[in-house]
Amino acid sequence: MSAVAATSNHLPWMWLVSRGSGLVLLLLFTAVFVLGISTRLGSSSMAMPRFEVAELHRTLALFAVAMLILHVATAILDPYVSIGWWATILPFTSRYRPLALGLGTLAVDLGAAVLLTSLARRRLGHRLWRVVHWLAYLAWPLAFMHSVSAGGDMGIWWVAALVWGSASAVAVALGARVLAAVRGDGVSRRSIPAPPAHRCLGTARIGGG
C-alpha cells in the first residue's frame, strides 16, 4: 500500500485513543506502583489505613489491565502503521519504531508475569511470588521509556507534564521506600491485613517488592 493510500485510510481518532489510553495507562501504572510501595512503608508514613491503600491498589490494577487492552488493540488496528499482534508478545519485532515498541512489549511481558504469579500465588508460595514481583521495579521504567519514545507528542506541554509528573511521583515513592528501609521502619508483607474473601480481586500488586 502506498503512503498516500495509507494516509487516506488512517483514522485519526484511533491514534488519539491509542495515545490517550497510553497516557492514562502510564498514570494508572504509576498510581499502582506508588500505592504498592506505600503498603511497604511504616504506619507513620501512611495517610490512609494500609488495608484501604492495598484495596485501592488492586482496584486501579484492574483498570490498568482494561486500559492496556484498549491501548494495545487500538495501536494494532490503526491502519496507518503496521505493528502486528506478535509485536505485543515478542519485543523488538515490530517494523515500526522497534525500540520504542519493544520497550513497551517488555513492560507488558513483565507485568503479565507479575499478574499471573499473583493469581497463582497460593500455589507458588510467597518466596517465589516475591522474587517475580520484583520485576515490577523494572517494568515501570520500561513503560516510561516507551511512553517518552513512542508517542511523538512530548512537545505538548501538558503531555510532558503528565509523563514527567509520573516520573517524579515514582522517584519520591522510591526515595521514601529506601529511606524506610535504611531506618528499619518498613512493614512485613504478612503484616498487611488481607481483604475479605469476597473482595479479593486477585490482581497483581505492583511495586510492593
Question: What residue spans define the domains of the chain?
Answer: 3-199
Q: What is the pLDDT of residues 22-41, one digit of tens each?
A: 999 999 999 988 988 887 77
Q: What is the dihedral sign for C-alpha 185, 189, 193, 198?
A: positive
pLDDT of residue 169: 95
- Is the pLDDT confidence value at 3 over 70? no
- Is the pLDDT confidence value at 147 over 80? yes
Cell numbers at residue 192, please?
Answer: 498487611
Whether residue 32 contacts residue 61, with contact meaning beta carbons closer than 8 Å, is answered with yes
- Is the pLDDT confidence value at 199 over 60? no
| Separation CA 123–CA 163 (nearest Å) | 37
| Separation CA 72–CA 42 (nearest Å) | 37
Whether residue 151 contacts residue 160, with contact meaning beta carbons closer than 8 Å, is answered with no
Phi, psi of 41 (to 5 degrees): -85, 160
**What is the pTM (predicted TM-score) of this model?**
0.73
Least confident of 9-13, 52-56, 119-123, 172-176: 9-13
pLDDT of residue 46: 54
